[in-house]
């Protein structure tokens, strides 16, 4: 039942989680000429490394997850070792107004973590995972999800987060954070106790409920890079549960019935059960449901019986498997048959075997069930090479108010990730047509961790009723737009 790395998105629906710590201007032409920058002076201030185009490590240091952005030529990459390194980089960016972007996992859909002629603040070396108390953990902003899962599992603890092991914890958290434990434990940002952040004035601040509360509010769903560079997170953890994973494969041509039944089922699904409905375009389209249940197979099976009954469709296959927590995370990450130490990127110095992926993607959010499921089926009929992945948003997510954090979709049914495994103009057109067609069904919605540079009225789509407050927080902490980029809170 293992899910391969290449097929993770199609099978599990959670591969891309928006792993951008912070982002900045990435227009192909800077708004103003980029000033001459004394990179050697910055190099002498850093404990970590600095790469410019003259350095041998530059080519690999600038790489993001998606090869689509390989043509970007940042002026420098600072691989920061600590808080002071980050402050030095931010101070330089504020002084020179060079475009600046902080990078965690580098999975940004829009490539905002790779600014042309700008400075990348690479947080990958700031990746420690340490228990702070019996129930809290401090995690460096450069940690990838595999480091988080493995590190916490050693202490018998866990966090609700995404599935792709090379995604960074920072971008995931700052945009909300969907994952296979969302129903039971909520979004990743819902477990955030505090964040250490360097704001545009170079000041290191702690954002929490009692310190910088507006900033703390904004960092829970407001998107990466809008307010500064986060260097460390303190999370509330929970005891590591035993899980059961499952997959239902349905016959081709059953999408409309399965989608209709899945939507109905979600209204009564237990918090312990999270699911994603993956729909592959085709003639006709086909679908499958992957799930994760907090508990054993004997408790899951009656839940699956109700789900299948709601669809009115007999699945062509039904598979369940009980797993420990870390084993399940490796399964969803496509790492079932490799050691944890290899479940890491192969494009940097981490010693992993997981490769990069070329893709084009966008997203919508279903606030409520589709009144006519057949219309989504129609959008995917006759196409190929594209999937729509519906990730459920029920359970614990809904028990926090819409305005209590910056994440606005507390009352929604599911996110809809539109994913094509290519970067061709045809793939872009296909994704855009499906995005706009789905928008006609669900309204102007979107998920900031699946950021889309071509999305119209993006501020309303990403943030809804929270957009105005986010703009105010950005103006307070970054009045000069040091971290401004094309879809930043400063430009709402």
| pLDDT tens digits, one per residue of 236-274 | 999 999 999 999 999 999 999 999 999 999 999 999 999
Q: How far apart are CA 489 and CA 409, in angstroms?
A: 17
| pLDDT tens digits, one per residue of 118-169 | 999 999 999 999 999 999 999 999 999 999 999 999 999 999 999 999 999 9
Quote the percentage of the chain above a pLDDT of 90. Answer: 91
User: Both tokens of residue 306?
Assistant: 């109700």
Which position has the token pair 């480091």? Answer: 147
| pLDDT tens digits, one per residue of 54-89 | 999 999 999 999 999 999 999 999 999 999 999 999
In this prediction, residue 351 carries a pLDDT of 82
Q: How far apart are CA 439 and CA 443, in angstroms?
A: 5
Which position has the token pair 């809804």? Answer: 464
In this prediction, residue 349 carries a pLDDT of 72
Is the per-residue pLDDT at 184 higher than 70?
yes
Contact 9, 16 (CB under 8 A): yes
Q: How far apart are CA 481 and CA 100, in angstroms?
A: 11
Q: How far apart are CA 137 and CA 152, in angstroms?
A: 8
Relative orientation angle of helices 373-380 and 255-266, to the nearest 10 degrees: 140
Is the per-residue pLDDT at 321 higher than 60?
yes
Is the per-residue pLDDT at 117 higher than 70?
yes
Q: How far apart are CA 263 and CA 413, in angstroms?
A: 8
Which position has the token pair 């904004």? Answer: 218
Relative orientation angle of helices 425-442 and 373-380, to the nearest 10 degrees: 170
Quote the percentage of the chain above a pLDDT of 70. Answer: 93
Q: How far apart are CA 86 and CA 276, in angstroms?
A: 37
Where along the chain do its domains lie? 129-240, 242-329+342-460
Average of pLDDT values for 329-343?
A: 96
Q: Determine which of 27-31, 357-361, 464-468 has the lowest per-residue pLDDT on average.
A: 27-31
Whole-number Cα distances in Å, 185 to 217, 220, 262, 426: 19, 15, 21, 39
Torsions phi, psi for 257 (to 5 deg): -70, -45
- Give the confidence band of 348 by pLDDT, cuts at 50, 70, 90: confident
SS3 for the chain is: CCCCCCCHHHHHCCCCCCCCCCCCCCCCCCCCCCCCCCHHHHHHHCCCEEEECCCCCHHHHCCCCCHHHCCCCCCEEEECCCHHHHHHHHHHHHHHCCCEEEECCCCCCCCCCCCCCCEEEECCCCCCEEECCCCEEEEECCCEHHHHHHHHHCCCEECCCCCCCCCEHHHHHHCCCCCCCHHHHCCHHHHEEEEEEECCCCCEEEEECCCCHHHHHHHCCCCCCCCCEEEEEEEECEECCCEEEEEEECCCCCHHHHHHHHHHHHCCCCCCEEEEEEEECECCCEEEEEEEEECCHHHHHHHHHHHHHHHCCCCCEEEEEEECHHHHHHHHCCCCCCCHHHCCECCCCCCCCECCCCCEEEEEEECCCCCCHHHHHHHHECCCCEEEEEEECCHHHHHCCCCCCCCCCCCCCEEEEEEECCCCHHHHHHHHHHHHHHHHHHCCCCCHHHCCCCCCCHHHHHHHHHHHHHHHHHHHHCCCCCCCCCCCHHHC
- Give the confidence band of 35 by pLDDT, cuts at 50, 70, 90: low
Average of pLDDT values for 199-221?
A: 98
pTM of the predicted protein model? 0.93
What architecture does CATH give domain 242-329+342-460? 3-Layer(aba) Sandwich (3.40)
Q: Which has the closest alpha carbon to 262: 251, 271, 274, 252?
A: 274
| pLDDT tens digits, one per residue of 87-104 | 999 999 999 999 999 999
Q: Which has the closest alpha carbon to 17: 449, 390, 343, 335?
A: 449
Mean pLDDT, the chain, integer = 93
Which position has the token pair 């508990």? Answer: 295
Q: b/e map of 122-141 (b: 16 or more CB within 10 Å)?
A: bbbbbbebebeeeebbbbbb
In this prediction, residue 350 carries a pLDDT of 75
| pLDDT tens digits, one per residue of 362-421 | 999 999 999 999 999 999 999 999 999 999 999 999 999 999 999 999 999 999 999 999
Q: Which has the closest alpha carbon to 257: 274, 243, 277, 240?
A: 277
At the topology level of CATH, where does 129-240 sit?
A: 3.30.465
In this prediction, residue 36 carries a pLDDT of 77
Is the per-residue pLDDT at 22 higher than 70?
no
In this prediction, residue 8 carries a pLDDT of 43
């Amino acid at each position: 039942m293992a899910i391969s790395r290449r097929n993770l998105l199609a099978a599990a629906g959670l591969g891309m989680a928006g792993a951008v710590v912070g982002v900045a201007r990435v227009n192909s032409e800077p708004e103003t000429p980029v000033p001459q920058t004394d990179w050697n002076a910055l190099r002498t201030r850093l404990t970590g490394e600095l790469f410019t185009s003259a350095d041998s490590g530059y080519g690999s240091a600038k790489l993001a997850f998606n090869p689509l952005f390989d043509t970007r030529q940042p002026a420098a990459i600072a691989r920061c070792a600590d808080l002071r390194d980050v402050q030095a980089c931010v101070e330089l960016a504020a002084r020179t107004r060079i475009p600046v972007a902080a990078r965690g996992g580098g999975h940004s859909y829009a490539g905002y973590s790779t600014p042309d002629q700008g400075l990348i603040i690479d947080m990958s070396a700031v990746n420690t995972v340490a228990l702070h108390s019996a129930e809290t953990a401090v995690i460096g902003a450069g940690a990838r999800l595999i480091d988080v899962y493995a590190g916490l599992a050693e202490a018998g603890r866990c966090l609700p987060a995404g599935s792709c092991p090379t995604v960074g914890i920072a971008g995931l958290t700052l945009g909300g954070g969907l994952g296979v434990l969302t129903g039971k434990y909520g979004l990743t940002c819902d477990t955030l106790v505090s964040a250490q952040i360097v704001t545009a004035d170079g000041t290191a601040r702690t954002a929490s409920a009692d310190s910088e509360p507006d900033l703390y509010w904004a960092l829970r769903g407001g998107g990466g890079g809008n307010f500064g560079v986060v260097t460390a997170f303190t999370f509330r953890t929970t005891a590591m549960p035993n899980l059961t994973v499952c997959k239902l494969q349905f016959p081709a041509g059953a999408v409309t019935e399965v989608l209709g039944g899945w939507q109905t089922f979600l209204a009564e699904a237990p918090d312990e059960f999270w699911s994603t409905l993956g729909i592959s375009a085709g003639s006709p389209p086909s679908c499958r449901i992957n799930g994760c249940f907090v508990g054993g197979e004997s408790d899951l099976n009656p839940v699956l019986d109700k789900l299948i009954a709601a669809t009115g469709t007999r699945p062509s296959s039904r598979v369940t498997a009980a797993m420990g927590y870390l084993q399940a995370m490796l399964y969803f990450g496509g790492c079932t048959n490799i050691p944890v130490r290899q479940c890491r990127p192969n494009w940097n110095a981490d010693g992993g075997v997981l490769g990069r992926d070329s893709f084009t993607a966008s997203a919508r959010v279903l606030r409520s069930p589709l009144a006519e499921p057949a219309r989504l089926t129609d959008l995917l009929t006759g196409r190929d090479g594209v999937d729509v992945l519906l990730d459920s948003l029920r359970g614990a997510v809904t028990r926090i108010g819409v305005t209590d954090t910056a994440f606005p979709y507390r009352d929604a049914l599911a996110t809809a990730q539109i994913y094509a495994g290519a970067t061709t103009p045809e793939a872009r057109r296909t994704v855009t047509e499906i995005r706009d067609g789905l928008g006609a069904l669900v309204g102007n919605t979107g998920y900031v961790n699946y950021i889309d540079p071509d999305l119209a009225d993006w501020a309303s789509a990403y943030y809804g009723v929270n957009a105005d407050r986010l703009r105010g927080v950005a103006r307070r902490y970054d009045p000069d737009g040091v971290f401004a980029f094309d879809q930043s809170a400063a430009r709402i």
